[in-house]
Structure 1
Amino acid sequence: MASNSPLAAILLTLIPCLFLVIPQAEAQPTPGPAPAPSSTLNLTAILENGGQYSTLIQILRSTGLDTQIYNQLNNSNQGLTLFAPTDNAFNNLNQGTINSLTQQQQTELVWYHVLPEYYSIANLEIVSNPVRTEGTNKNGVDTLNFTRSSNNQVNVTSGLVTTPLNNPLRQKYPLGVYEVDKVLLPESLFGKSSAPAPAPAAIAKNTSTTPSVSTGGGSSGSNGRNVGLGMVAGIGLFCMGFLLQ
């Protein structure tokens, strides 16, 4: 028993230390949840909150541009500007206009409503025209022009359509979204058709026939008069010859 006394003494010394270590281990805080990622801009969510852009949202989704714009918007230092036609703007187009476009043409139409950097309305009042859009065509980049009316309203024109910029759905860098009452129609898709070929000129009547007929009639009358004069002269000579005998 005496030989076990040192071991027992050591164990008795360590037991209080265990009671000190266990509570500290239990007191270690568990890792908290990861911080929420910084908020990102979602264009379709902004349009949905506007309440009258269902047609535009549908085209964005069917062409995949909602994802492209989302990625570009959240990975660009330039920002974006969108001119958002209302549902009424699309309804005012000729029936079947949008459905008659291919998906590529619908994509070009939407990109034509997007500027590749952020503009406030104040910026658009003084911007140098023309302003390039994200829309492209076989001849290059589609552009828009901006003017200020007498009542300080900013108008946007495509060359085929002119409409004022209305209610800003968002006007804060890096995204500006401005309502428009008309769909902006690029000339590359909706340009005026070439003027029809002029109708062939009417074949001129041959006016030489009439003068020739008239001339012929005049000649006949002249010949008749000559014959009459010849007969009178002949009779006169006959009479003179008879008297001289």
Structure 2
Amino acid sequence: MSKQLFFPILSLALFFICTKTSAQIAPAPPVKVDNITSILEKGGQFTSFIRLLKATQVENQLNNQLSIPNPNDGLTIFAPSDNAFSSLKPGTLNSLSDQEKLQLVQFHILPTLMSTAQFQTATNPLRTQAGDVKSGNFPLNVTAVGNQVNITTGVVNATVANSVYSDRRIAVYQVDQVLLPLQIFGPTPAPAPAPAAPEKDVPVATPKAAAGDANASGAMSLMKLCSNMGFVSFGFAVFGAVFWSL
């Protein structure tokens, strides 16, 4: 082979080798990260819960956490179905303030990733995003009997119906009841009784004293009458003595 053909062929071979190598080490396209809305929409029965997530802006918070490829703790979400919301008393959600709606949604979210197997050894009460459980305002207790997972809040008893979605970042479970926290839906303490008004001193007439006064007054009148009669009698006596002396 002549030198005129050797160098062009060598250059062409090196070009193909370099092109193939660079293709092998090219970075893989980023994995699509699902957001919480798309996860719930695939479940097909979480319209009411999605509406609450958007209204309270918790949706944005969850999506930001889902954007982290390898989170430290992950998330667990108990998603009530539309049937669960339908079983609430009419006007329940409308009666809540914006802060209470936020706490209601956060009460359905655990700041740790829990598999179904971990429910067997969970330490109750579980910590939710709604608040500190030490105060007793937001207790969430989970018990697992076989494959059935039960949740109690102090207001309602719910059951985990099935697993909706899970990966290394998030686990979503369907529950058959809206988890109503004790802080918001617990019994309202009875108001303290109003202090009794102080009694006023009212003078009360004593019947015996009144009777005594009446008797004393009658005695004085009788004595006065007797005194007057004695004076008259004395006058008649004097008049009689003078008359007979004449």
Give the equivalent residue in structure 1 for 2:108: 113
2:57 to 64, 70, 73: 64
Deviation, 1:169, is 0.3
Aligned residues: 184
Deviation, 1:182, is 0.4
Unaligned runs of 5+ in 2: 1-7, 13-18, 194-246
Contact 1:132 1:141 in 2 (8 A): no
Contact 2:137 2:183 in 1 (8 A): no
Whole-angstrom CA distance in 2 between matches of 1:185 and 1:102: 14
Which secondary structure does the structure 2 equivalent of 1:132 belong to? coil
Contact 1:170 1:177 in 2 (8 A): yes
Given the alignment of the two structures, is residue 43 of structure 1 paired with residue 43 of structure 2, yes or no? Answer: no
Given the alignment of the two structures, is residue 148 of structure 1 paired with residue 141 of structure 2, yes or no? Answer: no
Given the alignment of the two structures, is residue 123 of structure 1 paired with residue 118 of structure 2, yes or no? Answer: yes
Contact 2:106 2:128 in 1 (8 A): yes
Whole-angstrom CA distance in 2 between matches of 1:156 and 1:125: 12
CA-to-partner distance for each residue in 1:7-51, whole Å, 9 max, x for gaps? xxxxxxxxxxxxx9xxx9xxxx9xx99964332131110100111
Contact 1:84 1:177 in 2 (8 A): yes
Give the equivalent residue in structure 1 for 2:174: 179
Whole-angstrom CA distance in 1 between matches of 2:93 and 2:27: 45
Which secondary structure does the structure 1 equivalent of 2:60 belong to? helix
Contact 1:164 1:180 in 2 (8 A): yes
Which secondary structure does the structure 2 equivalent of 1:90 belong to? helix
Identity among equivalent pairs (%): 42
Give the equivalent residue in structure 1 for 2:196: none
Residues 120, 137 of structure 1: alpha-carbon distance in 2 compared, 3 angstrom cutoff: closer
Residues 129, 140 of structure 1: alpha-carbon distance in 2 compared, 3 angstrom cutoff: closer
Residues 140, 39 of structure 1: alpha-carbon distance in 2 compared, 3 angstrom cutoff: farther
Contact 1:133 1:141 in 2 (8 A): no
Give the equivalent residue in structure 2 for 1:224: none
Query: What's the RMSD between the two structures over aligned residues?
Result: 3.5
Deviation, 1:107, is 1.0
Contact 2:137 2:181 in 1 (8 A): no
Moved over 3 A (4+): 32-36, 137-141, 195-198
Which residue identity does 1:64 align to in structure 2?
Answer: Q
CA-to-partner distance for each residue in 1:213-237, whole Å, 9 max, x for gaps? xxxxxxxxxxxxxxxxxxxxxxxxx
Which secondary structure does the structure 2 equivalent of 1:143 belong to? coil
Unaligned runs of 5+ in 1: 1-19, 199-245
TM-score after normalising by structure 2: 0.63
Deviation, 1:69, is 0.8
Give the equivalent residue in structure 2 for 1:194: 189
Give the equivalent residue in structure 2 for 1:102: 97
Structure in which a larger fraction of residues adopt strand: 1
Given the alignment of the two structures, is residue 158 of structure 1 paired with residue 145 of structure 2, yes or no? Answer: no
Given the alignment of the two structures, is residue 82 of structure 1 paired with residue 82 of structure 2, yes or no? Answer: no
